[in-house]
Structure 1
Amino acid sequence: MDAERGGPGPHAPAGVRRVVLWVPDWPTTSLVVDVPPGAPAATVREARVVVPTMAARRAGVRARMPVSTAQSLCPGLIVLADDPVRQASAFEPVARVFDAVAAGVVCLRPGLAWAPAAGPARWLGTEEALAECLVESVAAQTGAECQVGIATGMLASLEAARQGVVVPPADTGEFLADLPLAGAGRVLPPEQAEGVLHAVDVLSQLGVRTCADAVGLGRGPLATRFGRAGEVLWSLCTGGDLPTRGMARAPRDVSVSLDHDPPVVDLDQVVVGLRRLAEELAGSLWRAGASSQTLTVWMETETGVRRERTWTAVDCASPADVVDRARWQLRGWSQACGSAEPGAQAPDSALARVGMVARGLVAAPPGPPLWGREDGRVRAERAVLRLQSLLGEEAVIAPHAQGGQDPRSRVSGGVWGAPVPDLAPLDGEWEGGVDGEPATVLDAPCPARLYGMTEKGPERGAPLLAVVASEGQTVTGDERRGREGLRPLHVGPRGDLDARPTVLVPDPAPGARLPAGLEAGRAVTIRVTGGPWAVLGRWWEGPDSPRAPRAYLRVGRENGEGPDLLLVQRQGSWAVEGVYD
């Protein structure tokens, strides 16, 4: 079996050897003060269960279940509000124990962290000794029961922690073979998880449900069909890490900091300045043309004590995400120093400096909107928030440029403020697509009838003032000419026209708006100015799919009045797709 299409076995894992610490049910484990040992409990957000305890799961309670259903299944269920701040601050003591055993600890989320395994394993003798030492240290110093796993690559190491095993590098493929593809979403940042999980859903409908199934398809077919999401799946399923976009002449890290003079002991005073730091960090990333998913938060006290913690799966260009992580971390440190409450006077807890560092920079996705990121950006965001509050979050759509064969597929729309969807690469293989972009693409194509002149018809340039639109109906014209030689026009699968395009008759739905210069039922004499372009499309999605086989034609008006039009033919019917400048 060749390396491209074989199973997981022949593929040497290319990821980093990681030791992963996982505390099961951390959102409820972190609330041990409110939950008696072994009691059924669940954290809840927006009337739905987020994480149930093991006792609650035995009673049938599941994540995303309505609270009313969970309480009917388990009458003694303890319902607790989902509090990310408390969960993160409570995890800090566990993370400090991890720091004492391994260097370079990175938190994926509260309750889950990892670090490179090579150094501490060499120091302790074996990887098994490292895992045993970490479990015992966490239990002895924090009372939390954790599971530790060691493996190669992001997905394999996370699954190893869930099973509490050490996986040798040579066994990575076999270990991942039966793992469901849906598990890939657990190690991805939100903006990548959405696209990858969509690919997983499509693959599951085709019978590809495990890592071995995905590897069996081959890297090329996965990347061709799903773009970057396919590359991510291939890397995770073969024991690798997340593929990144390279960038040239970029700083390795971007850092910002804030001095407090005099030092402050009230945490609320520190939080006020975090938003400004986060905005400054996002602006620096934008100017560098970079993005980052790894954030380090650090602080220095007036006595010179420095602490720092690194988080991954964070959008460092999003001030809201950055502020959340920084606030979680500062509260955890403050609790350790005795200053969690406003006005606390712990001598060593007064903060002199606080800072943030965006690490692991990669090339940024498509650029920001036309109005930039400064004052205009702020005003635009305020206007959008007002519209969303009046009309709903889905009422404002943000466009994102991507690769595609036609103008409509080259723009991906998403809800403003939501994670950017997984975009098709601009430099993909889009040969044969429509050349040039129309200035306006209609919300919905306007149906029209396109007629062509055969060789028997009037010569090019002869006036054609009357066209019969349907049996017994004359469209327009002060004079009549026969219809001899005039026929509905079609484009063949190879882009060949069966007649010379001559007349366009818009036929919109009642009340639909038409481009300037067009009237419903009124014939317009036209000439071809570009195309035709035949797009094979995704024929397997069926004829009703917007990405089914189609053909495009650019036409101008013989009288020169009005801009060129982009026409599209789907299933033998024509429509006006867009308008050029």
Structure 2
Amino acid sequence: MTGTPARTLLLWCPDWPVLAAEIVDGVPATGPVAVLHANRVVACSERARAEGVRRGLRKREAQGRCPQLTVVDYDPGRDARAFEPVVAAVEELVAGVEVVRPGACAVAARGPSRYLGGEEAAAERIIEHVAQSCLVESQVGIADGVFAAGLAARSGRVVPPGGTPEFLAGLPVEALGRSALADLLRRLGVRSLGDFAALPAGDVLARFGFDGALAHRLAAGRDHRPLAVRQPPADLTVTAEQDEPIDRVDVAAFVARALAEQLHERLAGHGLACTRLGIEAVTEHGQELHRVWRHDGLLTAAAIADRVRWQLDGWLSGSSGRTGARPARPTAGIIRLRLIPDGVIAQAGLQAGLWGETGEERERAHRALSRVQGILGPEAVVTAVLGGGRSPADQVRLVPWGDERLPTRPGPAPLPGAPIARPGRAPLSGESIANGGGRAVSAGRPADHSAGGVPPWPGRLPAPAPAVVLPSPLAATVHDAAGEAVVISARLAVSAPPARLVVGTGRPAEIVGWVGPWPVDERWWAPAEARRRARFQVCLADGTALLLAVEGGQWLVEAIYD
């Protein structure tokens, strides 16, 4: 934080939030426009200022001064996206640009001034280039430090070297951009940056705190940090243009190998490795094909070549129509192939086993399954991910091989003493859901986080989990010993002990043990999505254990226990 600040060139685009609204949303900046945040004006157009609109006015007061005022909501994301082409245009002439905020960017002035023939010539060249490239008006200020250069840009001024403290001294304290501090300083009789800079630094720190001490340094022309230049993202994409369309797998494999080597060399040159690879192809008829391959490790050159070859094999060997198991073939040969490293990380190396055997079996399996995906599509190979839910079907999510195996819902908190269904045991009167009984209040309220912030999923089944979960529940009927259908009342009362089970049109099976019901009343606060059901565990005479559910008066077989 010591030393003289570096000479800084700062490009400033006046009323940038208004211009960004015109660029992105099409709001004409030539008319009276005001950008509002928290019901106050944060930027306005020149036409609006002519009507008396100023920053800080409330919406109603601004509209009172200018009835034709067009009001736009403040969107920092929109401002940043619209400013990116301006920064790119500046980077075409100079390197090491820092984006101060949307609408302002800074660069060390030494390089451009030496290359473009002086500071004033560099400023004129950059302004002209931005105007031609982006059709945006801008102003440039040059001074010692980013803060002073930003203030100089407001008037398009080049402050001589060493003249920054004198330039700042005559500016009002409002130039610091700290309204509360400026108001306090004015009440204390400090009206200019020169008066503020003349105060002892220790007294300023004791009276105004760290932020006041930082503002004091800026008022004296001493920046608190050097330029934080941004590094333009490297273009890592590799493309192969083909004179003759590719319609054979062996030719595609040759092209894939060369392109994979090129991509791997480019990544290695930047110290990066690929974990997610995008493969794009364009056919002679203009058809665009795209697929993303994921890998939990680092993709080597051979691994990249394999995946490109498999993908091209899958495209070129696809079915002739759209109804087959394999994806449809392209309508013509491939004339352009592009590899996009969609996910990259720093290459830190990979420690192999002493004899090279570490992970070989797993890698072979991964290669085989990935090749199947390349031929049949990513959804052809899936793995199960266990997460939260009340039923076995809710707790399992199938994700394509290679995708991140993350549950969509957090798992349940453990419930101590959860029972296991035992043959011949009916639910005890008065037991609750927590201990597996059948006289509980409905569950599923939207804000139940009783176990350390993790949803406990009240109403879920106790352990053990069923071995087989049926993709579609089977309709069934349950009868008591007298042959009457067993029904469940709204209060979860069982009409009679279950005695026989008939699945579909099959033969009756004797029930020798049962436990339940476990009621679930989900999303009762949303009538269109509400679902109410009760579950039972039953054991049949042949030793089979089933999970049954009753919903809308219909018995269903949901799962089978091992």
Shorter chain as normaliser: what TM range?
0.3 to 0.5
Q: Which structure is larger by alpha-carbon Rg, 1 or 2? A: 2
| Higher relative contact order (CA closer than 8 Å, sequence separation 6+) | 1
TM-score, normalised to structure 2's length? 0.40
